Structure formats: C-alpha cells, structure tokens
C-alpha cells in the first residue's frame, strides 16, 4: 500500500478503513477480516467505538504480520485530567486490542481547558517513549488548540484527524498542518450522505462519469491527491472494494479544483469549538 511518512519517520498507509458505528462483535470482526483480505492495511478505531477487541482479534487471526498493519485508536474521555484514570484507559485500550502496540494514538477531542490537553499529551509522550504507541497525534484540533499544545509538546503530533469532505474542505487547517509538519486525516468523507444529494452530487457525479468511477471513489482520490489520509467506513464487501479501488483513480487538477469549489464550510459532525465533547 502507498504510504505517507510521518514527521517521526514512521510510515502510514494513505488509505484505511474507518470503523465508527461498526458494531462490536462479529460485525467488527468480519468487516476487518474482510477488509484485510481485500488489501486494507490501515484500520481506524477508537476506545469509544467499543470494537477494539474484535478488531484486535481479526488482526491476530488474519495471519498478516503485525508490522504490516497500521492501527489507530483514540482517547475520548479526559477524566477531568485525572492521570491515574487516563492511564487506566490507555492501558485498557492496549490490552483490549491485544496487538502488542498501537501504531497511532490520538486525543479524540480537544479539551476546552488547554492545560488538560497538555497533561494528556505528556502522558501520551511517555507511552510513545516506551514504544507502546509508535506515533501520537490529535483529532478535532483547531489551529488554536494546536498552537497551545505545540508550546509545551516535546514530541510533535504527527497527525490531526478532522472532519473533511467536499462540503468542508479544510484548506486553511491543512495549510497550517503542512507548515507544522503534521499530516491530516479526513473523517466523514461522504459527509453523512450529503455528497449523494443536490448540487454537490450533480458536480461529483459528472466528474465520476468522466472516469467511469463512482462518487465515493472520486472523493477518496480527491483527498489522496491533496495529501490527506482517507478512511471511509463500510461494512459491505462491494463498498469496501469500491472505496479501496478509489486509490487507483487519477483525477485531473481541474476536477480536483471543481471539488474544492463545493466547499461551504458545512459541518455534519460536531464543532470542536462549541461542543465540550462530540457525543
């Protein structure tokens, strides 16, 4: 699989599988097993998704060497900055996944008190130094959250995973991240289905038709062409394959620009500045 190089020299597959709302139990196990068989080598999960155990089991049962698979997880709860509880949650994530180490651990959501973000980051840094997390990063951080974090961080975050799709292209945030040697992952690439409606769909479908591709594939490639990690979620074999094949598409620069023009700054998920958490 094609990879990007993170700012600590580690590689991350450019494309992966999202697993938010992939039900714990056989659904998560079967989906990940199937995705690995198709060729996926990057699985995105989180403590709050409740499916780490099944994902870990699918990875162990896959027969694929551990080092060939990249796993991201995320810490959502901040426990009011209680160090013992935060460490307990991180240890539990490692134990539940049971795959030795986590390739990338993210702070799932910025705390509105930046001292708590600093404190969690310090703990993340200690797990990173111990080799339990191979890389550490953040999610849903706005520029101001990162500016605060970078003042105290010893280890620079490698990643910011944020909502990003044709209706919210995140160009200014991506520029800031690039300037600071931090990669961006897009979540919600299909904008909760809004890319399949109205004017947005008309434009995307017209582009897709030119390439004999689907709208989902065009979006996957739009992100990859911008240097973004793409992690669409599906539990259906035909869609897992369809999304995976989006990696092969080559879009003309003018088509990428047409998609950029669809940006309306429209959030379909929570706004990190106005929600204390994303639930």
Ligand X SMILES: NC(=O)c1ccc[n+]([C@@H]2O[C@H](COP(=O)([O-])OP(=O)(O)OC[C@H]3O[C@@H](n4cnc5c(N)ncnc54)[C@H](OP(=O)(O)O)[C@@H]3O)[C@@H](O)[C@H]2O)c1
Cα separation, 272 vs 270, whole angstroms:
6
Q: Is the dihedral of CA 24, 26, 27, 31 positive or negative?
A: positive
Q: Cβ of residue 239: shortest distance to ligand X, in angstroms?
A: 4
**Residue the block writes with tokens 């990173």:** 128
Residue 179 Cα to chain centre, angstroms: 20
Give the one residue of 28, 146, 232, 249 binding ligand X; rule: CB under 6 A: 232
Task: Pull the structure tokens for residue 276.
Answer: 């204390």
Please answer whether residues 255 and 213 qualify as being in contact, where contact means their C-beta atoms are separated by less than 8 angstroms.
no
Q: Cβ of residue 71: shortest distance to ligand X, in angstroms?
A: 11
- The reply to whether 269 belongs to the active site is no
Q: Cβ of residue 99: shortest distance to ligand X, in angstroms?
A: 17
Beta bridge partners of 139: 161
Give the one residue of 69, 183, 204, 231 binding ligand X; rule: CB under 6 A: 231
Choose the stretch contacting ligand X; rule: CB under 6 A; options: 87-95, 130-138, 150-158, 184-192. Answer: 184-192
Q: Cβ of residue 217: shortest distance to ligand X, in angstroms?
A: 8
Confirm or reject binding of residue 170 to ligand X (CB under 6 A): no
Please answer whether residues 71 and 96 qualify as being in contact, where contact means their C-beta atoms are separated by less than 8 angstroms.
no
Give the one residue of 3, 4, 10, 20 binding ligand X; rule: CB under 6 A: 20
Draw the binding track, 78-117, toward ligand X (x: CB under 6 A; -: no contact): ------------------------------x---------
Confirm or reject binding of residue 233 to ligand X (CB under 6 A): yes
Residue ranges in 130-169 that form contacts with ligand X under rule CB under 6 A:
139-140, 161
**Sheet strands side by side (includes 183-187):** 17-18, 42-44, 70-75, 102-107, 133-139, 159-163, 183-187, 229-230
CB nearer to ligand X: give 131 or 143: 143
Consecutive H or E run containing 52: helix 52-61
CB nearer to ligand X: give 118 or 242: 242
Please answer whether residues 162 and 170 qualify as being in contact, where contact means their C-beta atoms are separated by less than 8 angstroms.
yes
115 carries a ligand binding annotation: no
CB atoms within 10 A of CB 55: 28
Q: Is the dihedral of CA 112, 227, 279, 23 positive or negative?
A: negative
Choose the stretch contacting ligand X; rule: CB under 6 A; options: 114-122, 151-159, 233-241, 258-266. Answer: 233-241
262: which DSSP letter?
T
Catalytic residues: 49
Binding site residues, ligand X, CB under 6 A: 18-20, 44, 108, 139-140, 161, 187-190, 216, 231-236, 239, 242-243, 269, 278
């Amino acid at each position: 699989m094609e990879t990007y190089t993170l700012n600590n020299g580690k590689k991350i597959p450019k494309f992966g599988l999202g697993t938010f709302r992939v039900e714990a139990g056989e659904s998560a196990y079967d989906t990940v097993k199937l995705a690995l068989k198709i060729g996926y080598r990057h699985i995105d999960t989180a403590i709050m998704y409740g499916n780490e155990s099944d994902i870990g089991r699918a990875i162990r049962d896959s027969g694929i060497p551990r080092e060939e698979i990249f796993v991201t997880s995320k810490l959502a709860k901040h426990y009011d900055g209680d160090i013992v509880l935060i460490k307990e949650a991180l240890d539990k994530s490692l134990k539940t996944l049971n795959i030795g180490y986590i390739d990338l651990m993210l702070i799932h959501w910025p705390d509105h008190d930046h001292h708590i973000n600093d404190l969690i980051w310090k703990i993340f840094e200690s797990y990173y130094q111990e080799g339990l997390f191979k890389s550490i990063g953040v999610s849903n951080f706005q520029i101001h959250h990162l500016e605060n974090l970078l003042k105290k961080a010893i280890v620079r975050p490698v990643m910011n995973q944020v909502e990003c799709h044709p209706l919210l292209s995140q160009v200014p945030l991506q520029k800031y991240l690039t300037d600071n040697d931090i990669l961006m992952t897009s979540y919600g690439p299909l904008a909760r289905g809004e890319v399949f409606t109205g004017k947005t769909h008309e434009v995307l479908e017209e582009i897709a038709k030119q390439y004999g591709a689907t709208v989902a594939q065009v979006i996957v490639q739009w992100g990859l062409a911008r240097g973004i990690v793409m992690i669409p979620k599906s539990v259906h074999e035909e869609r897992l394959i369809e999304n995976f094949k989006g990696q092969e598409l080559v879009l003309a620069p003018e088509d990428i620009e047409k998609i950029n023009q669809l940006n309306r700054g429209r959030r379909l998920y929570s706004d990190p500045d106005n929600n204390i958490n994303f639930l």
